[in-house]
């Protein structure tokens, strides 16, 4: 067994696979792969003012999305608190400006590795307060 493996990574379920029993269809992926025509899975609906569309993802993009969702879910359990003990969320109204004031970060967020570049940003935000890219 690799001693560097993260226990949380071992416990996270796998994303859907193209050979599983999900209702994969042939069509265009809506995500990062450049709109490939391939086996895709319906992952939900997306809407904009006055219109909605089904959202499909290919296996590669689904893996990437799966990693981001798990990174977000884990960051939600490690959110810092402000001086009054209120949780400081990852997303705040733009009108409220940037985070200010004393923030208490929980211990231990760095015991795990992020699964995605976005997850690395979430992890830095909940352990260090870093919100600026770089």
Which x/- pattern over 37-76 shows residues binding Zn ion (rule: CB under 5 A)? ---------------------x--x---------------
CA distances from residue 20 to 23, 41, 129 in whole angstroms, order as listed = 9, 11, 40
Cite the beta strand spans of the chain per DSSP E.
25-28, 37-48, 51-58, 81-82, 103-104
Give residues with Cβ within 8 angstroms of 110, minimum separation 6: 123, 127
Note whether 29 binds Zn ion by CB under 5 A: yes
* Choice from 12, 18, 27, 33 touching Zn ion (CB under 5 A): 33
Stretch that binds Zn ion, among 10-18, 25-33, 72-80, 123-131 (CB under 5 A): 25-33
Binding site for Zn ion (CB under 5 A): 29, 31, 33, 58, 61
């Amino acid at each position: 067994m690799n001693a560097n493996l993260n226990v949380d990574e071992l416990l996270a379920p796998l994303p859907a696979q193209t050979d599983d029993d999900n209702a994969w269809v042939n069509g265009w992926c809506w995500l990062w792969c450049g709109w490939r025509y391939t086996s895709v899975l319906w992952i939900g609906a997306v809407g904009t003012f006055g219109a909605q569309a089904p959202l499909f993802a290919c296996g590669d993009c689904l893996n990437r999305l799966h990693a981001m969702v798990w990174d977000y879910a884990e960051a939600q359990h490690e959110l810092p608190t402000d001086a009054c003990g209120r949780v400081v969320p990852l997303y705040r109204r733009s009108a409220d400006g940037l985070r200010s004031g004393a923030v208490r970060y929980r211990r231990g967020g760095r015991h795990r590795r992020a699964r995605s570049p976005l997850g690395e940003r979430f992890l830095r935000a909940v352990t260090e307060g870093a919100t600026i890219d770089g």
